[in-house]
A = this chain, B = another copy of it.
């Protein structure tokens, strides 16, 4: 393993009825609260009422709302949040939503304490040193943002989607009540499952043979996700399957899988480029891109793809070459995601090859991207072309 530091101080409140507990958690940090949420689905499913009821039980609480955070949260919305906090002298952010709302909250939290343009922080040109404390109530299992310090923000003025990570932006607490996710529609549920599995893949593909526990932990998340996912898609309100997917999503990106290894993240960079140019769902983009990325790297290094197939997809290894096993693994992954209803081609979203160059350009945040097989711009173009 590489030398590493691990810390994750986020407190998880898991299970039915945990939303009410926010009234005990928030006052430790502040009482002037920015309540941040998305398009208003929380008003339909009753969560908004649950949350505001709990907030009303905090003596002396003052709540300012900001709604309308977009699925790919925008820099313009982050700036609105920063302004609101400054104008109203707020000291806590409660993010009620999925990864987008939580990511937006993190960018607001660090932007308040930064003199310049918060985009500097998102693009890692400035390092945050302080943040407004955040709590979250999670409404969709996918990004893992509820238990990490990462945030992805889109700048439409520049067609750019970037991310930053900070130890200052761990949520102080996150409420994970699987019941809240029961009303998430099928397509969003599928995208979440793809996102969760993709997070494991990003941290599974590396060259170290010296991190067996982290590898097995990743396989554990994949195995249990793949057991629960088809049953959940058949019965979207099933509490126990929602529960498994919710915990898995949180643990897929809370840091334990990348202890002491170099994670890859190339596919996420490519997907961010695609959805910065076309506003497609992140999970949909990943479902299309990941098998094609895997095919590309398996041509050079099939060994880890083969191991994934043997350990997670139950492929028989006897007397077979790694390249053969890798090909079967990728076929099985495509079959699995298709069986859930995930898209498999960018053309499903009306994207054709006319913008491959622009998307590849956007993906190249460095000379090469990814670590398992570092990709040049030409490699990225090739993966994108195979994904059309």
A residues within 8 Å of B by Cβ?
A: 1-18, 210, 212-213, 216-217, 219-221, 223-224, 227-228, 240, 243-244, 247-248, 251, 256, 259-260
Partner of A260, one of B1, B14, B228: B14
Note all chain B residues with C-beta closer than 8 A to A221.
Answer: 213, 216
Do A5 and B1 form a contact, CB below 8 Å, given A212-B224, A216-B224, A244-B212? no
Note all chain B residues with C-beta closer than 8 A to A2.
Answer: 15
Note all chain B residues with C-beta closer than 8 A to A217.
Answer: 217, 220
Report yes or no: B213 in contact with A247, Cβ–Cβ below 8 A: yes
Chain B residue with Cβ nearest A213: B224
Chain B residue with Cβ nearest A170: B9
Report yes or no: B6 in contact with A243, Cβ–Cβ below 8 A: no
Do A210 and B14 form a contact, CB below 8 Å, given A7-B9, A216-B224, A247-B259? no
Report yes or no: A15 in contact with B260, Cβ–Cβ below 8 A: yes
Chain B residue with Cβ nearest A209: B240
> What is the minimal beta-carbon distance from A251 to any residue of chain B, in angstroms?
7
Report yes or no: B7 in contact with A11, Cβ–Cβ below 8 A: yes
> What is the minimal beta-carbon distance from A214 to any residue of chain B, in angstroms?
8
Report yes or no: A223 in contact with B216, Cβ–Cβ below 8 A: yes
Offer 16 A-B interface pairs, CB within 8 angstroms, sorted by A. A1-B15, A3-B18, A4-B12, A5-B14, A6-B12, A6-B14, A7-B10, A14-B260, A210-B240, A212-B227, A213-B221, A216-B224, A219-B220, A247-B259, A247-B260, A256-B256
Chain B residue with Cβ nearest A214: B247
Report yes or no: A17 in contact with B5, Cβ–Cβ below 8 A: no
Report yes or no: A3 in contact with B7, Cβ–Cβ below 8 A: no
> What is the minimal beta-carbon distance from A252 to any residue of chain B, in angstroms?
10
Partner of A14, one of B4, B224, B243: B4
